[in-house]
């Protein structure tokens, strides 16, 4: 240490004391918290001020007791005050428009009616959650070689365009034995093809609604623009959805 160090440190310390004294004049704990908006008493990622606005409990990280903290719910687009509304285990978003979708039908030009089916995590996933995405919906079957070969391509497209607003959903109406797939089958399918998008089971009724009258060939693909507006049914591929981004 040289001989100038001590006086320098003393001056810095003195300035520090003055600054603290100034900050203390007229300040109350309440002013400080409201002023910065950053105090987060329960550590849930939402400031006390934001919680006051949302109506969530600033002293409880998980206001509705559904197992997910308030901040995480806000990030995922779910309601931190509704225990029945939770983020998907698969990490997919719940778009803000989902409560405002005015379903019309399942023909080209319609705002699609909703669809809620079990995914590879055993959770129910709703089409309406992705109302602010361009959605590529593919109905297939686990026994179908085409559905199997498509799966990898769909994942590649999803990985490349997820950030642009693409959502891919593969609905498997039958397992290898032509039965409705169980959640385990869907998990195996997702693992096998390294799929990160929703793989749903069942949905025969929706398939026939989209296909209309006549024979249905698998896979049957549907492209929905933002707002869940059906732009094409059958004879389309994931590239047609990417073109809408």
178: alpha, beta or left, given left = phi > 0 and alpha = psi -120 to 50? left
Smallest separation (angstroms) from Ca ion to the CB of 86: 5
By rule CB under 5 A, what string of x and - marks binding of each residue 185-224 to Ca ion?
----------------------------------------
User: Residue 113 contacts by C-beta under 8 Å, 6 or more apart in sequence?
Assistant: 103, 104, 105, 106, 209
Instruction: Reduce the DSSP state of residue 135 to 3 states and report it.
Output: strand
Asked if 226 and 192 count as a contact pair (C-beta separation under 8 A), the reply is no
Q: H or E segment at 240?
A: helix 238-242
Is 62 a binder of Ca ion (CB under 5 A)?
yes
Write out the binding residues for Ca ion, residues 80-109 only, by CB under 5 A: 82, 85
Tell me how far the alpha carbon of residue 89 is from its chain's centroid. Answer: 9
Smallest separation (angstroms) from Ca ion to the CB of 38: 10
Is 72 a binder of Ca ion (CB under 5 A)?
no
Between 124 and 149, CB nearer to Ca ion: 124
Question: Exactly one of 7, 10, 24, 40 binds Ca ion (CB under 5 A); which one?
Answer: 40
**In terms of C-beta density within 10 A (0-12 exposed, 13-18 middle, 19 or more buried), how is residue 96 classed?**
exposed
Stretches 13-21, 51-59, 173-181, 191-199: which one binds Ca ion (CB under 5 A)? 51-59
Residues near Ca ion (CB under 5 A) are: 40, 42, 44, 46, 56, 62, 64, 66, 68, 70, 82, 85
């Amino acid at each position: 240490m040289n001989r100038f160090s001590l006086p320098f440190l003393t001056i810095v310390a003195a300035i520090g004391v003055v600054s603290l004294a100034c900050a203390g004049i007229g300040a109350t704990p309440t002013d400080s918290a409201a002023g910065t908006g950053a105090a987060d008493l329960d550590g849930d990622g939402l400031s006390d001020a934001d919680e006051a606005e949302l109506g969530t409990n600033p002293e409880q990280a998980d206001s509705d007791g559904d197992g997910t903290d308030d901040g995480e719910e806000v990030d995922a687009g779910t309601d931190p005050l509704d225990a029945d509304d939770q983020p998907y285990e698969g990490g997919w978003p719940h778009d803000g428009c989902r409560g405002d979708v005015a379903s019309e039908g399942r023909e080209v030009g319609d705002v699609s009616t909703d669809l809620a089916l079990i995914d590879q995590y055993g959770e129910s996933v709703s089409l309406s959650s992705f109302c602010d995405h361009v959605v590529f919906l593919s109905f297939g079957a686990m026994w179908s070689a085409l559905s199997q070969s498509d799966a990898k391509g769909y994942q590649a497209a999803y990985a490349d365009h997820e950030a642009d607003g693409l959502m891919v959903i593969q609905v498997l109406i039958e397992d290898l034995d032509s039965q409705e797939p169980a959640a385990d089958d869907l998990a195996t399918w997702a693992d096998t093809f390294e799929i990160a998008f929703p793989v749903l089971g069942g949905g025969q009724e929706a398939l026939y609604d989209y296909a209309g009258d006549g024979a249905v060939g698998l896979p049957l693909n549907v492209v929905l623009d933002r707002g869940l507006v059906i732009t094409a049914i059958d004879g389309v591929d994931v590239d047609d959805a990417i073109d809408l981004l």
